[in-house]
Amino acid sequence: MLGAKMLVHGQVQGVGFRYMAVNIARKYEITGKVKNLMDGNVYIEAFGKAAELENFIKEIKASPFPSHVADVEISYCNTDDPPQRFRVAY
């Protein structure tokens, strides 16, 4: 299964971004996690079928107001043992 590790920069904390990511993940049957980082960025690990994963990434990049995604760093990977669900990590 294809995976993406994403570092999301911009106004992405304190605006409901993590819960928006959970909803987008459910829409595309993506598993993984989303987590706020101490530096104000958000880290996402996402796993799914290639087309669904790309759709997930597109929607993350185009997140609606009040969040604002300035940049997303992405590294792709493969896994044979993806998580069973998408969750907010603390």
Say whether 34 sits in a helix, a strand or coil: strand
The residue extents of the domains of the chain are: 2-81
For the annotated catalytic residues, the residue numbers are 18, 36
* Identity of the amino acid at 51: A
Q: pTM of the predicted model, to two decimals? A: 0.96
Nearest residue to 34 via CA among 12, 10, 11: 12
Q: In whole angstroms, what is the distance from residue 11 CA to residue 68 CA?
A: 5
The conformational region for residue 29 under phi > 0 = left, psi -120 to 50 = alpha, else beta, is: left
pLDDT tens readout for residues 44-87: 999 999 999 999 999 999 988 899 999 999 999 999 999 999 99
Cβ-in-10-Å burial (0-12, 13-18, 19+) of 61 comes to middle
CATH of segment(s) 2-81:
3.30.70.100
